[in-house]
Amino acid sequence: MHVAILIPARLDSSRLSRKMLADLEGEPLIVRTWQQAMKSTCADRVVIATDSGEIADVMRAVGAEVVMTSPHARCGTERIAEASGMVDADIVVNLQGDEPLIDPHNIDLVASPFYSEHPPDSATLVYPVLPDDFSVLHDPNVVKVVMDKRSNALYFSRSPLPYQRETLAGTHCYRHIGIYAFTRDTLRAFAALPPSMLEQAESLEQLRLLENGFSIRCVETGLDMPGVNTHEDLERVRELYRSRFH
């Protein structure tokens, strides 16, 4: 089974201009993410998928493999689906380009369900949250998830999941970590489907899969590091990078 890590990277960003090329201890942020991806033990290839010639030049200069994609992709998963047609892989891991602190173990972990006897259509990671951690559960920027007894996702939401009506006892709460793995067929099917009602309501593209009957296996991890969405995130990641790698 061939596994490829595809990293979608666009230059425009609504909350942090030219985010992918922001400096992180002497290298662009996208380069730091690629360097972490290259440490994965499960992947045969690591590929940057971008519509930016500037990003492509930066990545080729450090030796990365790059494929050019259309600027009209509606989301990162659609960009990855397009890029997967140019890459020979059975399983595609979608790693966001703004995750320079990603632990390589988490990349291997998200691909692990596909080595099981009953592989899913797709997989992602979840991180446990205390049911009384209201600052996390009520933060719309933190995506929550509930699962069935086989660890398949039932629903993702920006609202608290599950809703605590009376008691916290025995409740298991999880937040979503946005790294995915897909079979090639699932990825192609996703791109061919129109955005779904739930996807648009929550602004969560993974709901397009659930709404159309595809399985998403959730794998619990105890490792998580922040990504970069804002200037404040970037400063925090810079501090963490210095403490972790220097």
What's the whole-number mean pLDDT along residues 89-101?
Answer: 95
What's the whole-number mean pLDDT along residues 127-146?
Answer: 92
Cβ partners under 8 Å of residue 134, min gap 6: none
What's the whole-number mean pLDDT along residues 154-159?
Answer: 97
Position 96 confidence tier, pLDDT thresholds 50, 70, 90: very high
At residue 164, the pLDDT reads 82
pLDDT digits (tens, 9 = 90+) for 174-227: 999 999 999 999 999 998 999 999 999 999 999 999 999 999 999 999 998 889
User: Residue with structure tokens 């009602």?
Assistant: 197
SS3 217: strand
Residue 120, pLDDT > 90, answer: yes
Show the domains of the chain with their CATH numbers.
Answer: 3-230+237-245 (3.90.550.10)
At residue 15, the pLDDT reads 76
Report the distance separating Cα 45 and Cα 229, nearest Å: 26
What's the whole-number mean pLDDT along residues 131-142?
Answer: 90
> Would you say how long the chain is, in residues?
246
Residue 229 in tokens: 């969405």
